[in-house]
Structure 1
Amino acid sequence: MLELFVDIKDELQAVESALRKIVQADYQILTETSTHLLNAGGKRLRPALAIFGAKFYNFDLERVIPLAATLELIHMASLVHDDVVDASMTRRGKPTVKAMWGNRISTHIGSYLFAKSLILISKYEDMPIISGVLSDTSVQMSQGEIIQISSSFDINQSKKNYFYRIKCKTALLIAASAQLGAVSCGADKSIYLPLRRYGYNIGMAFQITDDILDMIAEQRQLGKPIGGDLRQGIITLPVIYALKRCKDKKRLAELVTKVEKSEDEVNEALEIVRNSGAIDYSFNIAHKYIVKAKSDLKELPDIPTRRTLSMAADFVCARKF
């Protein structure tokens, strides 16, 4: 996806510089842990979408930078907390904050980053829609995570349950990113609502693709061990499909609901899902969201940014990590 961001390379660099200044603190451990997260990289999808959204109306980088940084801080905070809950030792091929500093520090670093985001949002007091959307999104992100934890190892989940969970966990923040970039520069509903729908649809496709990659990607490309969702009892779309359609559904149910799994059992479950047609089915669902996202773009002015966002939508399902 990085090659799609070449047109906003300078703008993203300005956001990156702002983030590095924001995480500087009087206490070394705060700076070290936060900088470690930034150095771990990431797609910077949310800041990029905010910048692209702003390009549709009176683009002003100084107006967008605090918002773009806020979006990345919220995302980073959620990842730190996820790694504590999931006991993840690597992310993007590098040690997590949890792995290096432990659960107690990680929990508070996540909260610290989120608090930093609140300070940045105060810069938009003349645009209450920004704080309103982000506060509602943050509540729903937390709700999605709680639902995921409480439904661990529960094989009686429907596709509707799954789609609601990933909407809360992932799609809403991506939707907010595309929407609020335009809002920050003064765009009206005719611009920011199609952008929000676009962001929502690629967000849904993004998470479905993530869940597929957890089953089929190479560990080297993914940056973390595959099969992580199965180990944690997270029931994703491919598993929901396989539990209903595969010939080994009884054995798969036994494996999925087993709290402690050996590597052989994880691999067996992965193999059952892969052989069930669930991967193709899930990719097809993700592709339908991409088609919707590209349709949403047709409501926006026909500028080069619109074509870039269309290519970005295609990349969401084609990526390997």
Structure 2
Amino acid sequence: MSIKPIGDTLVPMTTLDRLYEPIADDLAIVEDTLSLVAQSDFLPLEAMLNQVLSRGGKRLRPAISLLCGGFGDYDADTQIPLAASIELLHTATLVHDDVIDSADTRRGHVTANATFGNPASVMLGDYMFAHAAELVARTGHIGVIRLFADTLMVMAKGELAQDVSAFDADSGTMRDYYRRIHGKTASLFATAGAGGAMMSACDAQTIDSLREYGRSIGMAFQIVDDILDFCGTEEQLGKPVGGDLSAGTLTLPAIVLMEDDPDDNPINRFLDAKNEDSRAAYLDEALDAARQDSIVERCMDTVVEWRDRGLAALHAAPTTGPREQLTAIAEFVTQRDF
């Protein structure tokens, strides 16, 4: 087991398999449930579902949901459909994201839209949203079903906010950024935490604590993604570096650069470029500037702040729950790929 520094602490780098040990059996049933989702009597749909659902992933969201269920009266018969619905909802949003971004690859795999085209991929995402709703309906918990619906609306608003603010320098504020990433990413992590606790009949304080844990870890998760988009490699990301800024999306590294010199910075030059050639040159300049150690460190300080906020919320939850595993997941999210 290697040790890697984060902030002023040393934390163990453990594998996700180790973190997931308490829920391994139920997480395997979540996988089986997703495999059943991929089966259809309409063969073109089945081919599309298999392409997007057979690639696995970290399964952080369903794992958090199952673990948070451990703070109360855990019932696998309802926790598993909830966890599967959360993962399916997440995957459906990725299908639509790739259409919006005209992305050909994701994590090194060809996207559905690159294989099947945009119209079919939009309908595929719609089908997956509907199936996710059917899964959460199996829980029979009206509060969780309402939470699921509310989360889908918040996620859609977050994606729309990102789209309408593209190439808009005025959207380069921390407030706008946090609002966007809460909607598109952190809200589903929050639902994983709160939903698992609600399904186990936890008290209101525990539900709120685990909701805030999920939200904060989701914020940290997205900020790490945004840092990697500037500082990672194409091999590491499975897609071209700088994709966010290229699409006009202002993320934390770009915002830090803009705040350092509001009147003269490579981000504004990129946004104001009049043609593709000059825009490409300014994109390279912006990526180089964002890779400075001082910029990366300040962005990582923000990641650590959100991680610590999540851990503080977790520590307000009962000690009888799986706090150790959720703490380790928070550390994993902070450290991944660095």
Please classify the TM superposition score into its range, dividing by the shorter chain length. Answer: over 0.9
Q: Residue in 2 aligned with 1:274?
A: 291
Number of aligned pairs? 320
Offset of 1:246 from its aligned partner? 4.6
Matched, 1:24 2:17: no
Q: Residue in 2 aligned with 1:33?
A: 48
Task: Go from structure 1 to structure 2 and tell me whether the alpha carbon gap of 1:2 and 1:74 turns closer, same or farther (over 3 Å shift).
Answer: same
Alignment partners' CA distance in 1, 2:284 and 2:320: 47
Matched, 1:175 2:190: yes
Matched, 1:297 2:314: yes
Task: Go from structure 1 to structure 2 and tell me whether the alpha carbon gap of 1:82 and 1:25 turns closer, same or farther (over 3 Å shift).
Answer: same
Matched, 1:91 2:72: no
1:123 to 117, 132, 138: 138
Once the two structures are aligned, what percentage of the paired residues are identical? 37
- The superposition leaves residues 15-70 of structure 1 with CA deviations (integer Å, 9 ceiling, x where unpaired) of 00011112211111211111111222221111101110111112221111111111
Offset of 1:239 from its aligned partner? 0.4
Q: Residue in 2 aligned with 1:204?
A: 219
Alignment partners' CA distance in 1, 2:113 and 2:252: 28
Task: Go from structure 1 to structure 2 and tell me whether the alpha carbon gap of 1:30 and 1:85 turns closer, same or farther (over 3 Å shift).
Answer: same
Alignment partners' CA distance in 2, 1:165 and 1:213: 18
Equivalent AA in structure 2 for residue 33 of structure 1? M
Q: Residue in 1 aligned with 2:116?
A: 101
Alignment partners' CA distance in 1, 2:293 and 2:169: 16
Q: Contact 1:5 / 1:48 at 8 angstroms: preserved in 2? A: yes
Q: Contact 2:257 / 2:265 at 8 angstroms: preserved in 1? A: no
Offset of 1:6 from its aligned partner? 3.3
2:170 to 129, 152, 156: 156
Q: Residue in 2 aligned with 1:53?
A: 68
Alignment partners' CA distance in 2, 1:65 and 1:179: 15
Alignment of 1:243-258 (within 5 A): 243-246=258-261, 249-258=264-273
Pairwise CA RMSD: 1.9
Offset of 1:182 from its aligned partner? 1.8
Offset of 1:144 from its aligned partner? 0.7
Offset of 1:138 from its aligned partner? 0.6
Matched, 1:214 2:214: no
- The superposition leaves residues 216-248 of structure 1 with CA deviations (integer Å, 9 ceiling, x where unpaired) of 112222222211101111000110110121599
Q: Residue in 2 aligned with 1:62?
A: 77
TM-score, length-scaled by structure 2: 0.89
1:77 to 79, 82, 92: 92
Q: Secondary structure at the match of 1:191?
A: helix
TM-score, length-scaled by structure 1: 0.94
Extract unaligned runs of 5+ from structure 2. 1-14
Q: Contact 2:266 / 2:285 at 8 angstroms: preserved in 1? A: no
Equivalent AA in structure 2 for residue 171 of structure 1? A
